[in-house]
Amino acid sequence: MNIKSIGVALKFSVLASLLFSFLSSDKIWPASLEFWGSIIRKTAAIFHDPATQWLAVACLAFYIVIFLFVEQRAGFLPSMATGVCRFNAPEMTGGSRWIYARCRNFFLNPNLWLAALVALVFLLYAFAYQAASSSTRVSVLLAGIVFGKATSVWIRGQNNHVEQYTLWLAGLLTFFLAYAALWQLKPYMTYQYHGVIRWSGVWDNPNFYGLLMGTGVILALGIGIREWQMADGGSRKALCFIFCLIAAMLTGYGLSKSYSRGAWLGTLLGLFHLTVQAVKSSRFSVYFCRNRFLLGILIASLTTLMFWQFHFSESLLSQRAFSVANANDFSWRNRVAAWKGSIHMMVDRPLVGVGWASATSLYQNNYLPPQLNDPGAIQTNDFFMLGVSAGMPVLFCLAAYLALSFRRRPAGLSPPLSIFTVCRSGSIVLLVGSWFDGGLFKLATATVFWTLMELSRLELVIPLPIAPVQPTTGDDDTKSIVTVFSKYGRWERRLRWVATILAVLATAQTIVYLGTPLLPVGDETLAVARKCLISQHEIKDFDFLSTNEIWRGQKIKVLLEHVQLANYDRQLINWTLDNEIYQHFVLSPVITGRSDEQLDWRRPFWEEFYPRIRHAASLEEAAKIVFAHLHERVTIATLPNSPREVPEIWSKQITDEAGFEIIFIAALRSVGVPAHLDSNSHAEFWNGNNWQTTPVPSVVSW
């Protein structure tokens, strides 16, 4: 081994040590590694201490400038000068074409937009240092960029070994992630899903753990496919296959245990990108390109059929995956509300944002919907968080950098499935996860994301292979076309038939599931709804309500809303109810007993009151919360024709005392509190032991 090889090995060891340190920066180090842990803690203290944070941020920004300068100075971006610009302007002279090419290459350079992003972030940080230093977002963001750039610059300087070193680094990252998959520590905050603990690994959040595990799955599969296609020896193929299979199984198991929907979606999209590129590099590429429309229909039909088949599954994994289509799930509702609030905040402060430390408090005080109580949801979308904190120009620079970094060489000019494509697929997982769960402001995920993004761009540095052009004749072209048709024609016909049949089945099933709720209640529609539209544990409640003749003429949708929302309350409330009390005084929408009573009221009341009482510890506490808010919303007055139907009272927000009693019962039932009218037409609710009369409506305090 010569001196140069030893130097490269030492540099790679240092790079691997830094990568491992960043990945495990949240870990509580055992006594055997206390020295290593103390170094990490002391380094982290520099970024957390406002007195020293500015120095670290300035150094990181300076390092980024140096790396960008080295890249451009050394000419590491040959594709910016050749192979990018295509002209369709014959009227341009030579000088005009040269100026146009230079300007276009300048603005199509991702480094330009990355430099603009760093400059704007640093200037805004320096302008409001006192407030910004209380957050580590700027320092973490810049640290991730620095590590990614440093890795990219070092690998680019290895002349003809760029692809080999990129493969080694991607394999090392895969090994670290597979090793961390089963390395579970007791987190500071235990996250659960339906009583099952969500895995967090060595990190403090299962969503970040899931994103990193999803990245490991993509890298393991991608490396395995690449090596299987390119390796010559059978033993090497076998070793690579075993390593990648074990790594994919470990990270895949950790991904499932994280119960992170954002990580699952990111992994699915990364896997889709990887699969498409892998198929293009195989002997099925011609077949794939000719039938991509049919394959798209096939995938969409299978997805639709699987959704309708398993959306009532009792499996926790299925329930978690399909909960994105659950209108009652407050996890994604909080995120959507945070997205809307973030957009309003960016519109109000479009140029410089609201600052790095005040976004959450400002959202809570001015933009958070009154019925929601989770201001932390704004931190789950790092793109909006960046725009809110630093302004829309910074967000635009990031979007431009990402869009330009995802450019690829034209098909056929690069290796069939290069390691750079694998890195690009892995970065998609973290890119999607940053939209739903965050990651750009977390050191472990930010380091991996920026590293994979920069490694994927190395594809443009590899010299283009020049294949000799073989002269062809018209007869040769005709023969090749005939060969393709004879080889794939039979499979194309089968694919067309399968795609058509599945599309018809998926369409028919969708019509049944979405169209039946719009039909009136009848024996046939009730049978279809009972078979297809409710889960097994809702059948008894459905049968109890459907036997009442008051439903005749009503839409199935109203009946289903009462069953599903009441059952949702029953699963999540903090108290236990007797089944008879639940069915008669919570599930049943009948309050006054009139045959013409309007029953379509549970959904708007549930939307208004459930978020407010979801953490109430008792029936009486929930009733007090409902009464106080209802008294604020509804005006009590003596009217000649006071509305007495629940939907009408709620829409007009005014009624008399008798109408208030009725609407109060509806509000209580909508959130799982048993209530009814007594013999004197006064509202009573069940406090867990006996029926309790409500106070006089005109009294504000309980």
Inform me whether the pLDDT recorded for 476 exceeds 60: no
For 98-150, the pLDDT digits (tens) are 565 666 666 788 888 999 999 999 998 888 887 777 788 888 999 999 999 99
The amino acid sitting at 599 is L
Q: Alpha-carbon distance 82 to 97, whole Å? A: 13
Residue labelled with tokens 């892995």: 426
Q: What share of the chain is helix, strand, coil (3-state, %, to 5)?
A: 70, 5, 30
Interacting residues of 590 by C-beta distance below 8 A, sequence separation 6+: 548, 550, 597, 599
First to last CA, the chain: 84
What's the pLDDT at 204? 82
- Give the number of C-alpha atoms closer than 13 A to the C-alpha of residue 412, restricted to the C-beta side: 6
pLDDT of 511? 93
Distance CA 352, CA 121 (A): 10
pLDDT at 401 over 70: yes
With pLDDT > 90 as the criterion, what percentage of the chain qualifies? 25
Assess whether pLDDT exceeds 50 at residue 297.
yes
**Token digits of residue 359:** 């976004």
Q: Work out the mean pLDDT of the chain and round it to a whole number.
A: 81
pLDDT at 269: 94
Residue 223 has pLDDT above 70, yes or no: yes
Report the 10 Å Cβ neighbour count for 361: 11
Structure token pair of residue 397: 């620079």
Q: Does 505 have pLDDT greater than 60?
A: yes
Res 396: pLDDT: 94
**pLDDT of residue 473 exceeding 60:** no
> Burial level of 208, CB count in 10 A (0-12/13-18/19+)?
buried
What confidence tens digit (pLDDT) does each residue in 324-374 have? 777 777 778 888 888 998 999 999 888 888 888 888 888 888 888 877 777
- For 13, the enclosing helix (H) or strand (E) is helix 3-23
Q: How many Cα atoms sit within 13 Å of 114 on the Cβ side? A: 26
Say whether pLDDT at 180 is over 50.
Answer: yes
Among residues 415, 407, 427, 406, the alpha carbon closest in space to that of 227 is found at: 415
Confidence class of residue 698 from pLDDT cuts 50, 70 and 90?
low
Question: For the domain bounded by 519-693, which CATH number is listed?
Answer: 3.10.620
Write phi, then psi, for 684 (nearest 5 degrees). Answer: -130, 145
Contact yes or no for 217/249 (Cβ under 8 A): no
Q: Quote the pLDDT of residue 702.
A: 42
Kindly tell me if the per-residue pLDDT of 411 is higher than 90. no
* 190 has a pLDDT exceeding 80: no
Q: Where are the domains of the chain?
A: 300-326+476-515, 519-693
- Alpha carbon of 655 to those of 635, 638, 658, 698: distances in Å? 6, 7, 8, 12
Tell me which of 79-93, 461-475, 572-586, 640-654 is least confident: 79-93
Q: Where are the alpha helices (DSSP H) in 556-613?
A: 556-572, 579-582, 602-613
Checking if the pLDDT of 32 tops 50, the result is no
- Asked which of 113-122, 224-233, 500-509 is least confident by mean pLDDT, the reply is 224-233
- In the chain, what percentage of residues exceed pLDDT 70? 83
What single letter denotes the amino acid at residue 699?
V
Closest CA relative to residue 516, chosen from 532, 535, 502: 532
Radius of gyration of the chain (CA): 31
Q: What is the mean pLDDT of residues 429-444?
A: 90
Contact yes or no for 177/212 (Cβ under 8 A): yes
Lowest mean per-residue pLDDT among 581-585, 628-632, 678-682: 678-682
- pLDDT above 70 (res 381): yes
